[in-house]
């Protein structure tokens, strides 16, 4: 009597968009493209952003959503869990800084995935979530950064940012 082996699970990718629709929508398009090619996709988001994401991927059965809490930040308006809910763009930098407190729940999520045999082949995360690089390295999972913009703006932006970082370094040396 021949024994059958269980089917091999499909490759698994984790997508972690920044909490802004302009950053989320391109990653949801990537999620759908990966899903259509047979990959299992998990989109990581916060409770306030989950309904929007669900509405965009509900037709794809191989895309699931994992919710991690957005941290409470002292002196930060309640309910600000995406950039659309910020009362002022002056709060954008503190908002980005607050996302770093999502590191521990994200690590717990990856650990759970690995333990149940669904180790991601990669994590695609937004460039504002740069802290995900260290987490992915600690799990030995490749991280792909998403800038969410086209190639032409990136051609102009990258050299400018490099130039600015060199200017700042020179300025600090003089002081």
- Among candidate residues 29, 59, 75, 126, the one labeled active-site is 126
In 3-state terms the chain splits into helix, strand, coil percentages (rounded to 5) of: 50, 15, 35
Active site residue 23: yes
- Among candidate residues 23, 29, 59, 75, the one labeled active-site is 23
Q: What angle do CA 163, 168, 174 make, to 5 degrees?
A: 130
**Cα of 33 vs its chain's centroid, Å:** 17
Strands (E) located in the chain: 12-16, 40-45, 63-67, 122-126, 143-146
Active site residue 126: yes
Residues annotated as catalytic are 23, 126
């Amino acid at each position: 009597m021949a024994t059958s082996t269980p089917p091999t699970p499909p490759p698994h990718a984790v997508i972690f968009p920044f909490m802004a629709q302009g950053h989320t929508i391109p990653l949801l398009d990537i999620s759908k493209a990966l899903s259509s090619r047979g990959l299992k996709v998990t989109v990581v988001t916060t409770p306030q952003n989950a309904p929007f994401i669900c509405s965009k991927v509900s037709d794809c059965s191989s895309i699931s959503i994992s919710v991690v809490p957005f941290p409470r930040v002292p002196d930060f308006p309640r309910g600000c869990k995406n950039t659309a809910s910020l009362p002022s763009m002056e709060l954008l930098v503190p908002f980005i800084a607050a996302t770093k407190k999502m590191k521990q729940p994200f690590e717990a999520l990856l650990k759970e995935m690995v333990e149940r045999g669904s180790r991601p082949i990669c994590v695609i995360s937004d460039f504002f979530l740069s802290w995900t690089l260290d987490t992915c390295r600690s799990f030995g999972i490749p991280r792909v950064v998403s800038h969410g913009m086209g190639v032409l703006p990136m051609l102009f932006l990258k050299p400018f940012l490099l130039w600015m970082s060199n200017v700042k370094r020179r300025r600090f040396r003089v002081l």
